[in-house]
Amino acid sequence: MSNISKLINTIQTLGYKVSLEGEKIKLKFIDKDDPPKEASIIIKEIKENKAIVIEYLNNISRMENIFMDAVNEITKVSTVCAINYTQKMLPEMYEKVITAENKINSLWDEGQDIKAFSEAVIEWQETQMEYIELLNAENGVDTVVEDVYNSPNGKPGPSQGLGKEVV
């Protein structure tokens, strides 16, 4: 399906928004000028491979949800300097994160194996959480969100309202 991802990326680069509504592929030209002439060739290829394009777009949508769920969990406890800390202080762990990210990118480009993608995201997320916890422990930051001010994400815990002071 890497050819399909190239088709989608190319048509997007040419100024089209690609979306899926049920079993219908929607291509909308969003640029101010006229559509480029080479777009018609790409659109024809997309139409000829409709079933594969629909499968690819459905898979990408599911993959995006999987990835964003992991990112949201990480951002709950992450600090701005976590990546720099890991790169300098834990280079082996940093390489593990980069390897996992490369695997995620490769699986994303293929747009086929949702299970392998999900497993790669879990591996990436676990490694991210591990080094964030190490950094937070070193800095004396509590990453528990319940009933305490959670300084890594600057948000109050669930039972503490905004602007409320806990003694």
Inter-residue contact 130 to 93 (CB < 8 Å): yes
Predicted TM-score (pTM) of this structure: 0.71
Range of the domain at 23: 1-48
- Model confidence band, residue 74 (pLDDT cutoffs 50, 70, 90): confident
Are 135 and 157 in a shared domain?
yes
Where is the domain boundary, 17, 33, 48?
48
Comparing 2 with 34, which gets the higher pLDDT?
A: 34
Are 79 and 107 in a shared domain?
yes
Are 165 and 94 in a shared domain?
yes
Are 102 and 71 in a shared domain?
yes
Q: Is the pLDDT of residue 102 over 90?
A: yes
- Mean pLDDT value across residues 110-128: 94
Are 32 and 5 in a shared domain?
yes
- Mean pLDDT value across residues 41-55: 94
Strand blocks (E) in 3-134? 16-21, 24-29
- Mean pLDDT value across residues 105-126: 94
Residues with Cβ within 8 Å of 120's Cβ and at least 6 positions away in sequence, in order, are: 100, 103, 104, 107
Are 77 and 119 in a shared domain?
yes
pLDDT of the residue at 162: 46
